[in-house]
Amino acid sequence: MAAPEFTIPRYRRPVRRRYAALLIAVLCLNLVLAPLAAAPAHAFGFGEFTVKDEIELGKKFRVLVKSRLPIIEDPEIADYVRELVARLQAVIPPQPFPFETSVVLDNNMNAFATPGGYVFVYTGLLLNLENESEVAGVLAHELAHVTQRHVAKRIEAAQKVSLLSMAGLLAGLLLGKGEAKDAMLFGTAAATQAAMLNYSRTDEREADQMGMQYLIKAGFSPWGLPGAFKHIQNQQWRSGGGVPQYLSTHPDVQQRIQYLSNQVRLLPAAQREIKDDNTRFRRIQTLIRARFADQEAAMHYFNNSGTLPPELALMGKGIVYARQNKISTAAEFFDQAVSLAPSDALVLREAGRFHYNKGDSKRAAGLLQRAVMNNPHDLMALFFFARLLADNGQVDKAVEYYRQVLQKLPEDSEVHYYYGRMLGENNRLFEGHLQLAYSALYANNKRKVEFHRKQAETLARTEDDKAELERFDTRHAERAEFW
């Protein structure tokens, strides 16, 4: 059970060949929907695409995305996006499903929401927008597509297309344009079906209008929506990339920016002049930029950003220098950050994490303990604290912390890995192999899943053990159909 290179967690691996593998996999959704794929849509009531059908399709799409794209599990980042969506959800009409969010490690300025309420936000969107209200504006627009059931209505209209083709086209619609999208259309009546599923001019305008309402009711600056569209349009022009789906040319992007801006100008001053509170947004941007962005570009930003709080700039530099393996320099910057902000849980956590990784357990313990005391909900700090406890032989206490973390982060491969290692090293072999099987499952490593699942099966002794294996097999079946 050799440890992986801890300085490069699984969710930092670069996306290879963009989305080709993902989209081709969606084309193979006969694995998901085989009982239905052979029949025309109307044969199983597709003309009445129910909320239950919508939820089921969304669940399948969620598993597919998570089995193909790198998901950031850091709760500081994931919880921020989740809370933005929750704030918007609180002001929209009641929905028949909860919204679930995930953050995808990708430089594109994109986001999308699937039927069934699954929301995916790319790190490129979080990094390249300037204000929290702009992120909220994009999210509000995407939630409006779901609440107005735009995709579901398109599906209902497509009486002659199989559910298999619909799922493939849905993926192409949500994940963008270009070669990958073209690949999704292979073997289908592309032009007709794509026309049925692409958001219409009416759909986009309705999502703009409803999204603006959600944004205002949730207390965000209404300039967030047109501001986001403008930033995304400018960034795409500079980079030469395609425009995201929600900035489709139907209607024209500039026209949409203009009518949304005019709408904001007509609002009462109390709503029109709401100011952004970007305090937490800047912290999230700092984490993403320092840990995942290009190192040279990140360092340039931290050296030249006059608006970033100094403790965050110092912490960001420490993270980047640690990535460059300049340990002594990184330590100096972390020390300065902690000196400036001795009660900042995020600064303490990152400094504690750094010292743990470089082998200074004593220093790490003090910092992580202070981080947990200042923010008991920081699961990353709890995870490293659990590892420290295990290193010091306090296995039962470490188990308590690991379980607490996994209750909130059940699909974090890294947490399962170190928990499983600790259990195995302490002769709790069934549990250890089972946790390592979960780790491999969420890292999409088929070979290791099979190995650890087999080992756990040979070690199962009690009925509870067998029940645990059955639960694992259920999760495994959900993912394995996309491998």
Report for 31-40, 233-242, 286-295: range of highest mean pLDDT: 286-295
For residue 172, the model assigns a pLDDT of: 61
> Is the pLDDT confidence value at 35 over 80?
no
For residue 115, the model assigns a pLDDT of: 84
Length of the chain as a residue count: 483
pLDDT band for position 384 (cuts 50, 70, 90): very high
Sheet with 111-114: list strands edge to edge: 100-104, 118-122, 111-114
CA-angle at 283, arms to 278 and 287, nearest 5°: 145
CB atoms within 10 A of CB 103: 27
**DSSP conformational letter for 221:** -
pLDDT band for position 306 (cuts 50, 70, 90): confident
d(CA 126, CA 351): 23
CB atoms within 10 A of CB 176: 20
d(CA 136, CA 217): 12
Q: Average pLDDT over the chain, rounded to whole?
A: 83
Q: Is 63:204 a contact under the CB 8 Å cutoff?
A: no
Which residue would you say has higher pLDDT here, 187 or 137?
137
For residue 67, the model assigns a pLDDT of: 85
For residue 133, the model assigns a pLDDT of: 98
Q: Is 355:363 a contact under the CB 8 Å cutoff?
A: yes
Q: Is 146:89 a contact under the CB 8 Å cutoff?
A: no
> Is the pLDDT confidence value at 57 over 90?
no
Instruction: Extract the tokens encoding 429.
Output: 């072999």
CA distances (Å), 328 to each of 7, 32, 298, 321, 331, in order? 16, 51, 19, 9, 5
Q: What is the average pLDDT across 451-470?
A: 97
Which residue would you say has higher pLDDT here, 400 or 22?
400
- Exposed / middle / buried, residue 403 (Cβ in 10 Å: 0-12, 13-18, 19+): exposed
Instruction: Extract the tokens encoding 441.
Output: 């499952």
* pTM of full prediction above 0.75: yes
Share of the chain above pLDDT 90, in %: 63
| Interacting residues of 175 by C-beta distance below 8 A, sequence separation 6+ | 19, 22, 23, 112, 181
For residue 43, the model assigns a pLDDT of: 37
DSSP-based helix, strand, coil % in the chain, nearest 5? 70, 5, 30
> Is the pLDDT confidence value at 242 over 60?
no
Comparing C-alpha atoms, which of 393, 466, 468 is closest to residue 425? 393
For residue 236, the model assigns a pLDDT of: 64
Bridge partners of 104, per DSSP, are: 71, 122
CB atoms within 10 A of CB 472: 20
In the three-class reduction of DSSP (H, G, I as helix; E, B as strand; rest coil), residue 106 is classed as coil
Comparing C-alpha atoms, which of 139, 140, 146, 141 is closest to residue 125? 139
98 φ, ψ to 5°?
-80, 155
Provide the CA 367 distance to its chain's centre, in angstroms: 28
Q: Which parts of 74-149 are beta strand (E)?
A: 100-104, 111-114, 118-122
For residue 69, the model assigns a pLDDT of: 87
192-236: pLDDT as tens digits: 344 444 667 788 889 999 999 999 999 999 999 999 999 888 876
Q: Is 75:380 a contact under the CB 8 Å cutoff?
A: yes
The residue behind tokens 């981080």 is 371
Average the pLDDT over each of 2-6, 42-46, 225-229, 356-360 and give the range with the smallest value. Answer: 2-6
| Interacting residues of 295 by C-beta distance below 8 A, sequence separation 6+ | 320, 323, 324
> Is the pLDDT confidence value at 322 over 50?
yes
Average the pLDDT over each of 69-73, 128-132, 237-241 and give the range with the smallest value. Answer: 237-241
